[in-house]
A and B are shown apart, each in its own frame.
Chain A
Amino acid sequence: TQLLEQSPQFLSIQEGENLTVYCNSSSVFSSLQWYRQEPGEGPVLLVTVVTGGEVKKLKRLTFQFGDARKDSSLHITAAQPGDTGLYLCAGPPTDSWGKLQFGAGTQVVVTP
């Protein structure tokens, strides 16, 4: 099984601070997705990274895919209360076509 380990599990910061969430594996993934989920709602896709070393920016969010395609990070600059949510990374395991392996998630709380 290709596990995805997310860290930290929980992050509480104040508005205006920066934060980074990590998603690591010992296995290679062909792509990784990042989702944000609010309580009682479905995960909303933020980004898909495909190429090793890729960096994608979405306003204040910066996503990196490791050169070896085994890890990824999400960096939020100047966090806002609207960034609060459960952040999930997910990727397709090579031995299970059509499935997604999820990380355990990082709960981010941004207080005003």
Chain B
Amino acid sequence: DTEVTQTPKHLVMGMTNKKSLKCEQHMGHRAMYWYKQKAKKPPELMFVYSYEKLSINESVPSRFSPECPNSSLLNLHLHALQPEDSALYLCASRSTATNQETQYFGPGTRLLVL
């Protein structure tokens, strides 16, 4: 099983709203990622968690706040977003038990900020 799940599938929010994106995997992967993707572009890395600790923050604005409650779950809390934050948000995970760098992606959350 190489499944990463994400909820919700779609999200529309106003610039004053607070919302959260959720990601879950049960592959025992201890590295988890958030990416942002604009149409027809490759994914852009936002955050990396390794063993439930934030290891990489790619200078993401503080209106995005990641959280890793346990080894299977990853959240992205959203507050006071801007219209330009509208994008597909992808979660991915990777095994730390091998040297392979393969990441497995979830289906994404399509976010629209009005």
Identify the A interface with B (CB < 8 A): 30-31, 33, 35, 40-45, 48, 50, 86, 88, 90-92, 98-100, 102-105, 107
Say yes or no: A98 contacts B104, CB within 8 Å.
no
Interface of A is mostly: loop
Say yes or no: A42 contacts B100, CB within 8 Å.
no
B48-63 CB mask vs A (1 if < 8 Å, else 0) is 1010000110000000
Say yes or no: A50 contacts B40, CB within 8 Å.
no
Residue with the highest number of chain A CB atoms closer than 10 Å, among B31, B55, B101, B107: B101
Which residues of chain B (100-114) have a CB below 8 Å from chain A? 100-108, 110
CB distance from B64 to the nearest CB of A (A): 18
Say yes or no: B108 contacts A88, CB within 8 Å.
no
B13 at interface (Cβ–Cβ under 8 A)?
no
Contacts of A91 in B (CB 8 A): 101
Say yes or no: B2 contacts A45, CB within 8 Å.
yes
CB distance from A25 to the nearest CB of B (A): 14
Complex CA distance for A92 and B31, rounded to whole angstroms = 14
CB distance from B89 to the nearest CB of A (A): 10
Contacts of B45 in A (CB 8 A): 99-100
Contacts of A33 in B (CB 8 A): 101-103
Task: Identify the closest chain B residue to A88 (Cβ).
Answer: B42
Task: Identify the closest chain B residue to A33 (Cβ).
Answer: B102
B8 at interface (Cβ–Cβ under 8 A)?
no
Complex CA distance for A2 and B64, rounded to whole angstroms = 27
